[in-house]
Each structure stands twice: as structure tokens, then as C-alpha cells.
Structure 1
Amino acid sequence: MTPPSNHSTGDDKSGPKARSAWAVTRSVWFAMFMREAVGRTMTDRMGWFWMIAEPAAFTLVMIGIRSYIRGDSLIVNAPFIPWMVVGLMGFFLVREGMMQGLGAINANKALFAYRQVQPVDGVLVRNVLNGLIRTFIFLLFVLGGQLLGTDFLPDNGFQVIFGWLSLWLLGLGIGLLTSVLGTLVPEIGKIINILSLPLLILSGVIMPLNHFPHSLLEYLMWNPIVHGLEYMRHGFFEGYQVVHGTDMDYFWGWVLFSLALGLLMHVRFKERLKRQ
């Protein structure tokens, strides 16, 4: 018998296997996520403190104002402070998604030298990180409320989680749109910054919209944020009467439309966004 040959045939391929596109994308997202997380939390020694202190201070100011004018008497079947905190946290989740989209592309411009990195990656990673941070802060508020003796546990946990994720997706969809529009037309970013405060009032965050005249309420209900906030509030307080006309089908229409249009705009203007 002849011994087996130690020479490999020409058909053998001993080189490293090429990674799939999905594996490359996951690696890019993970690297960008860690870069963004370190930048948001570790660059400033007070980074974590301000992430919690800013929404806490704003919430306390709003609670003080509404308590002074006896805002709790305007809300039926829901405790005033948890009702407002739920609205503020949900609104901040959408607003931050919208605002983070404005600077996501310019902040990651140096990474576009790598062909694996696309402008949309920065928007997606920023919104995921923002969602995780906002969820952590919201849970701290819930825990703090319980420790202070306020009944802050939701009556329907699944509805609250679904409502929270729905609001995050709306923020992501709007963030995809603002990232393209704000990069191509910088003046749009200034307009969005100006509109953020009126949007806080018109979304029923600090005052129930049921007390507005019906003729005005019809126009206010065009705002999709109202529907998401009312749905989540109803998950917290089962007896709470949501604003008349709340419709999650309408809300999800906005979510799907903004996500689809935002992704299409990123595909259409990808090269221009890289050069901008």
C-alpha cells in the first residue's frame, strides 16, 4: 500500500471564508453602537448625571406648574403625577428620535470612508441607543414613584410595552426623515428645533386634550403622537378615558409611512449624504 499523500489537491481552499453581508452589517452596527455609547456616557464625567437630571428637572417643573393651577382635577381615573410622567417620557422618546436624526450623519461623516458604513447606519444606531437610555430613565421614574408611595405600576404591562415600542418606532421613522432633510437643507433643522416646544403642548403631554373645543380637537388629533401617548396611558391606568378619536391604526399608518419614506430617501440620496 502506498501511504496517503501529504500534498493538498488544487480543489482545497484553506483561506478564510468570506463573511456574509449580514455579518458585516452586524459588526458595523456593533462598532458604531459602542462608539456612540462611549461618546454619550463617558466623554463627560457628568454624562450619566445629566441624562437623568435633565428630564427629572423638567418633569418637576411641569408638575409644579400643573399642581399650582390644580391640573389634577382635569384628569379622570388617573393619578395626576404618573399621568404626566408617562406623557413626558413618551414624548421625549419621540422627540429625541427626531432630534438625534438631525446630527447623526454629520457626526459619523468620517466613517463613510469605509464602504461598509452607510449614512442610514448612524441614524439606526443612534436611535437604538437613545431608546435604551430612555427606557432605563423611564424605569427609574417608575421605581422612584413606587418608592415614594405613588402607584406607578401599569395595569396592562403588555399594552405599555407595545405602546412604548410603537412610540420609539415613530421617533425612528421621523429621525430617518429629518436626517436626510436636515443634512441636505440645514435650515430645516432650525425649524424642527423651534417646533419641538409647541409640539409638547399640542401632543397633550401636560394638559388633557379632552378639554379643548371639539372644533380644535379635530385638528389636534392629526398629530400621531397624541394617539401613541393616549394608548400607553390607558395601559397604565385601565379606567382612564382616552381622548375621543384615539386610533392606533392611524398611528401605525404614520409609523409605517415614515419608516418607508425615510429608508427610501436614504437609498435615493445615499451618495449626496456622504459628500454633503
Structure 2
Amino acid sequence: MPKQTHTSGRTPWQVTRSVWYAMFMREAISRTMADRMGWFWMIFEPLAFTAIMVGIRGFIRGGNLIVNAEFIPWMITGLMGFFLVREGMMRGLGAVSSNSALFAYRQVQPVDPVLVRNALEGLLRTFVFMIFIVGALLLGTNMFPDSAIRAMFWWLSLWCLGMGLGLITSVAGTLVPEVATIIRMLNMPLLILSGVIFPLNQLPHWVLEYLMYNPIIHGLELLRGSFFEGYQMIHGTSAGYFWLFTLITISLGLIMHVRFKESLKAQ
């Protein structure tokens, strides 16, 4: 019998890992080096929001609006958590169309650039958050979390929510361009209605009851609770609701990518 030669090939996981690594390096270079103002805006945006809101608070009323938490660290924590979710959702909008040329390679699927962009955004936002924490400590403001493990867990949880929303918007925004326009218009209302810039505890109960359907509120309150010991979270904050919504969002996004894979490649 002729001697059989054994040819070793890469496993599907090795192929996927190589694709993700190549796309990650491509996105990282594009995100951090192509735009010279990229780093500036990532740092300046939350800094400007905080400065404006501190000024408004000082003009309208004095004192501490937040129970067992200083206003500035409370504000920065909320802004950073919200931007993590928002950027995960927004980066998904153009992920498929901007990488359409890569779909000529059968190893690259439409879901790959979405996952890679969210991973990169999570790392960048984590780095910026650490800059703010260190900067606040140097200025004499204590922003170090009282429970670092819980803070890291809820930071990661908010990233997961952003990834799930990004998976959905990447499909919906690519197949129906009008959806992308609507999502961009929702940025500012979502910022206000998520309890980022003012405490929602001051709202009437009947209004708060409807706002609590927003999972971002639950994630931000739990993140703040890990930073400030004794922080009085909004009544009705639920880790179970947050994770139920997050897991459903991720599952729905993955199902949409499987269902509309060929349609996304054809865009």
C-alpha cells in the first residue's frame, strides 16, 4: 500500500483567532493613529460634560445632590459607563459596511468586525477611565472604587451590553439605513434618560417606573454602587434584569447575524 502523508491544517478556532488578531490590529491603527484628534476627543468629551454639569449644579443649587457620593466622581463614573455602552452600539453601525471588502475571504464573517470593534473600544474606554481615576487622585479627589472587583465586573457587564446592542445595530443599520439615522438621533435623549447627568431619584415615581425599563440605568447604578460604599441606588435597580436584557440582546444580535449573513455580505 502506498504510504499516506499526513497534512496538518489549522483548526477553525485558530483561523478565527488569526482573523480577529489581524482585524484588531487594523482597527487599532485606524482608530488611534489615522485621526490625530481621536485621543483628544475621547478624553475631552467626558471632561467637558463634567465641567458643564458641575457649573450648572453650582449655579442652580449648592450642596451635595448625591447620597454618600461626591458629585464629580459620581458624574465621571456615570459618563464613562454610558460612553462604553454608547460606543459599543454606535461602532456597530459602520462595522459591516466599512469592512465589506474583506468578505471576499471566506474566513471573514460580518460578525467579526463588530466583535473586534467592541473589543477595541472596551480597551480604549478602560484606558481613558483609568486616566480619569489617576488624574482625580492626583487632584485630591478620591475616585478609587471601594470594591474594585465589583467595579471591574460591572464595567465588563456594561461592555457586554454595548456589544449586544452593537450586534443588533450592525445588522439593522446595514440593511435599513434609516435605522442608523434614528439611533444617532437617540444619543442625547438616552444620555439624559439614563441618569448620567442628574440623579433620577428626584423624579416622580410614575416617571421613574417607566424609565427603569432602560437597562443602562441599572448597569450605571450598580457600577456606582461598587465605587461608593453606602451609595443609595435608585429603587428598583436589579442586576437580574440587567443581565437578562444583556443576554437576550447578545443572543438576538448573534441570531440576526446568522440569519442575514449573506445579505450583509452583499451590501
Q: TM-score range by the shorter chain?
A: over 0.9
Q: Which residue of 1 aligns with 2:3?
A: 11
Over 3 Å counting, the alpha-carbon distance change for 1:113 and 1:12 in structure 2 is same
Q: Which residue of 1 aligns with 2:136?
A: 145
1:154 alignment partner, SS class = coil
Q: Bigger radius of gyration, 1 or 2?
A: 1
1:74 alignment partner, SS class = coil
Structure 2 contact 103–265 (Cα < 8 Å) conserved: yes
Q: CA deviation at 1:140?
A: 0.4
Write the deviation string for residues 25-69 of structure 1: whole angstroms up to 9, x where unpaired.
000000000000000111123333333223322332233223332
The whole-number CA distance in structure 2 between the counterparts of 1:45 and 1:88 is 23
The whole-number CA distance in structure 2 between the counterparts of 1:138 and 1:47 is 15
Paired letter, 2:26: R
Alignment match of 1:187 (pick from 168, 178, 188): 178
Structure 1 contact 173–255 (Cα < 8 Å) conserved: yes
* Runs of 5+ unmatched residues, structure 1: 1-8
Structure 1 contact 71–80 (Cα < 8 Å) conserved: no
Alignment of 1:1-276 (within 5 A): 10-13=2-5, 15=7, 17-70=8-61, 73-276=64-267
Paired letter, 1:34: M
Over 3 Å counting, the alpha-carbon distance change for 1:159 and 1:39 in structure 2 is same
* Runs of 5+ unmatched residues, structure 2: none
Q: Which moved more, 1:66-75 or 1:151-160?
A: 66-75
Paired letter, 1:131: G
The whole-number CA distance in structure 2 between the counterparts of 1:128 and 1:189 is 21
The whole-number CA distance in structure 2 between the counterparts of 1:21 and 1:12 is 24
Paired letter, 2:32: T
Q: CA deviation at 1:188?
A: 0.6
Q: Which residue of 2 aligns with 1:5?
A: none
Q: CA deviation at 1:109?
A: 0.6
Structure 1 contact 72–79 (Cα < 8 Å) conserved: no
Percent of aligned positions that are identical: 66
Q: Which moved more, 1:44-53 or 1:124-133?
A: 44-53
Q: CA deviation at 1:73?
A: 2.7
Aligned residues: 267
1:73 alignment partner, SS class = coil
Over 3 Å counting, the alpha-carbon distance change for 1:71 and 1:229 in structure 2 is farther
The whole-number CA distance in structure 2 between the counterparts of 1:21 and 1:66 is 55
Structure 1 residue ranges, 4+ long, deviating more than 4 angstroms after superposition: none
The whole-number CA distance in structure 1 between the counterparts of 2:164 and 2:201 is 28
Write the deviation string for residues 86-108 of structure 1: whole angstroms up to 9, x where unpaired.
00000000000110011110111
Q: CA deviation at 1:132?
A: 0.3
